[in-house]
Amino acid sequence: MTENNYLDSLNEEQRAAVVHEGSPLLILAGAGSGKTRVITTKIAYLIKEKNIDPWSILSVTFTKKAANEMRERAVAIDERAADAKIQTFHSFGAWFLRKYAEHAGLEPSFTVYDDDDVATLIKKAEPSLSTKEIRTAAHQISLAKDYCLTPEDDLSIIGSEFDLNDIYSKYQKRLRATGNADFGDLIMLPVQILEAYEEIADYIHNRFKVIMVDEYQDSNIAQYRLLQALSGVKQGSDTYVCVVGDDDQSIYKFRGAEVENILTFPEKFPGTEIIKLERNYRSTANILNAAGLVVKKNHHGSLEKTLVADREGGGKPVLAFLPDQNAEATFTADLVMKSLAGGAKYSDWAVMYRTNVQSRLFEIEFARRKIPYVVFGSLGFYEREEIKDALAYISFFANHKDEISFRRIINKPTRGIGDKTQDKLMASAVTLKGDGNPIFSDLLENIKNHKDSLSKKASEGASGFINLFDTLAGCFDENKPLSDFIERVIHDSGLDEYHKAVDEIEGTTRAQNLQELINSAVHYECTLDGLVKFLDTINLDRTMTEENEAIGDNYVTLITLHNTKGLEYNKVIITGLEEGVFPRMEKTGAELEEERRLFYVGITRARDELYVTSTAKRCLYGRWDFMRPSPFIKEAAEAFTVIGQAPFGFSVRKTSPYGQFGRDASAFSNTSDDTSEDDSLVSKWKKGTHVYHDDYGDGAVVAAYSNSGEYVIEVQFANGGKKKFLPKYQAKSLQVIKD
C-alpha cells in the first residue's frame, strides 16, 4: 500500500482510535466492530507514520491464533512490523523469564508444567490429599497466582476448604526445586521481578515505548499488574498504553478473568481517553437486536455502548421449543440437511452448547445422518498419552531437575523402577539451600551415584536410562532438523515399540501420532536452543485447534459457548436454553450476569441465521428432568420467531412451514396448537396465587411452568411442605383464595 490508503477503509471511530496518541487509550470495541483491524492498523501506523521503532512495540493477546493474525495483518501494511513483539501474555512471560531466569529462581531451560503436571507435583508435596482434593488445590493455587498472591498472603479470597497456604507453600517449594514453572508463574514472576528490581524495570520501560493489549476484558489481576509494571505508570513513565476490549464479552471469570480491569481502566491509568467502536459489520440487524435485548438486562459492570448493524434486514432469529433433547438433535440435523439443498455448506453451521456433555446426541445423530462434524474442545493432540510421554523425554533432556518428566519416563517402558524406588531417588536428590528451602540436584547424576544401591533389576534399568541420555547428548547437529533428534529419542527410548503394542491391542493410532509429533519439529534447529523453542511452542500454545483433517474443512462445528470467542459462522444454533443448563442452576448475581454475557457472545457469532432451542425435558447425568425455559430467552422473546409448543407465558405466532426451517418444529410434539384452555389455566393458577388444599391446608403458588405440554404448578404450604399439581386435572382438591 502507498501513502495513507490503508486508512481509507476505516470508519470515523476506527480511524480516531488508530491515530490517537499521547494519553492512555481504551478502545471499547463491540462484537464484530473490527477491533482486530484497528489494533493491527495502529501498529503499522505507529511504525509507518510516527517513526516508532518496531522493536519498542509490545502487543499482547490471549491466543496464538490472534497473535499470528495481528502480526500478519500489520506486516501486510508495513513489513517492518515483523520486528514488533506481538505475542500471547504467556509467551511474553516465558520470553521475559528466560531472559531473567536467575532472578526468578528458574533454570534457563525450564519447562512449563501443565494442569496434570501441577496435580502430580501437589500429590508428591502433600500425599495425604485425595484425587479430588488435589484437583481442587491445583485450581485454587492457579487462581491464587491469577490474583498475584503468594503462599504468605491472605488467601481467603479463594475460599478454600482446607489449609491452602500450607499446600501452596509445599507445592511452590517443590516446584522451585525442579527449576521449572507453571502457567501462573509466567505472569506472576515477571510482576515480582519488575517490582523488585529497579534496573530491570528501567530497562523494560526504555525498551517498550508502546504497549497494546487485546481482549483486555479477559485479563486477570496478575495480567493487570503486569501491564502496570511494564508500562511504569506508577513511576510516571511516558510509555503509551492502549487496551482494546468489550465488557459485554467478559466470560472467563472461572479462569480468573476480572471484568473490573476494563471497567476501572480510566481510574488506574489517569487521563485515559475512551473511543467506542459501535458499528457491527458481522451480524444482521435482527440478530443484533436479539443480542442487545439480552445484554441490556445486565445492570452491573457496563460501559454503555449501543451496537448498530451495518447489515440491515435478514431473517428474524428462530426460537424452537422441543419436547426433549432427542428432538433437539433431530431438529438441528434437519436444519443442516435442508440448508444444503439451498446451496449452503456444512461449514456454514455451528452448534453451540453450555457444557461438553451436551454434544453426545448431536454426534450420534450427525453420524447416523452422515453429516461431517468436528467437536472442538475434545482431547487435544498434545494431551494424548503417547505424546505426553515423548514430550516428557525431551523436557527432561532440557532440564535434568524436572521431577514430573522424570517420574513419567523413568519406568516407561518398564525398567523395574517403581514408585517407592522413585521416591527414594527423589529424596536423595534433595539438598537444602541456606534459607532452608529444598532444591533438586541433577536427577540424572543422582541416579548414576545411587544406582548401585538399587535392586539388580532396577540397577540394570537405571543403567539403560543413563546410557540413553548420555547417547542422546551427542545427537545434536545444527545442520539437521530437530525432527531427527526427536525421532531418535522416541526410537531409542523404546516408546515407539511400546505404543505400537498398544495399537495392536486396542486398535489405536498412537504410533501415527508419535510420527506426527516428529513431523511437527522439522522446522526447528537441532540444538538445545531449538529444542527449548519447540517445547515453548507446544506448552504455551495448546489451544482447541485439533481438527479432523480427514474431512477437510467442510464440517459442522460442535462447540461450547466459551470456546466460540473470536469466531463467527454464517448459521448458528444455540442449544439447551433451560434453567439449570443455561444458565447453570447455581448462578446468581454477578455470575448470572456473566452467563447472560455468554449468551450474548453466542448470539453475536452469527452472521446470517440464528436458531435457539429449548426442551421440555432433558436427560443429564443419568436421569430425566422436566425443564423450565431459560430466563434469557424470555427476556429477548420479542426478537424471535417462536416455533413448536411454546411454554406458558410466551407469545406464540403460527409455526412456520417445513420449507423454511427444516422439519416443522410442531412435528416433534404431540400437543395441540389450541392454547385457549392453557391461557385460562395460566390466568387462574399463576405464581403468587393463594390456595387452599383439602389435605395440606393454606399455601401459595411459587412456580408455574409447562411440562411436556401440561401446565404444572408448585405450591408451598404453610406446614412447610411443597407439592406439584396439574390444575387441569386436580382443581377439585384445590381452591383459589381471593386476597
43: its cell numbers: 501498529
Number of H helices, E strands in the chain: 30, 26
The residues, any chain, with a CB within 8 Å of residue 473's CB and separated by 6 or more, are none
Q: Are 624 and 618 in contact (CB under 8 A)?
A: yes
Distance CA 192, CA 208 (A): 18
User: In 3D, which of 696, 699, 678, 676 has the Cα closest to residue 687?
Assistant: 699
Q: Are 171 and 125 in contact (CB under 8 A)?
A: yes
Q: Using the 8-state DSSP alphabet, how is residue 162 labeled?
A: S
Q: Are 286 and 315 in contact (CB under 8 A)?
A: yes
Per DSSP, what are the bridge partners of residue 59? 86, 212
Cβ atoms < 10 Å from Cβ of 737: 11
Q: Is 373 left (phi over 0), alpha (psi -120 to 50) or beta?
A: beta
Question: What amino acid positions are annotated as catalytic residues?
Answer: 35-36, 214-215, 249, 605
Q: Using the 8-state DSSP alphabet, how is residue 723 labeled?
A: E
DSSP 3-state of 380: coil
Q: Amino acid identity of 595?
A: E
The residues, any chain, with a CB within 8 Å of residue 584's CB and separated by 6 or more, are 354, 595
Q: Which residues are annotated as a binding site for ATP?
A: 29-36
User: In 3D, which of 176, 187, 158, 160 has the Cα closest to residue 121?
Assistant: 176
User: In 3D, which of 432, 196, 433, 331 has the Cα closest to residue 661?
Assistant: 331
Distance CA 555, CA 344 (A): 11
Q: Which residues are annotated as a binding site?
A: 29-36
Q: Are 319 and 633 in contact (CB under 8 A)?
A: yes
Distance CA 591, CA 262 (A): 17
3-state SS record for 581-603:
ECCECCCCHHHHHHHHHHHHHHH
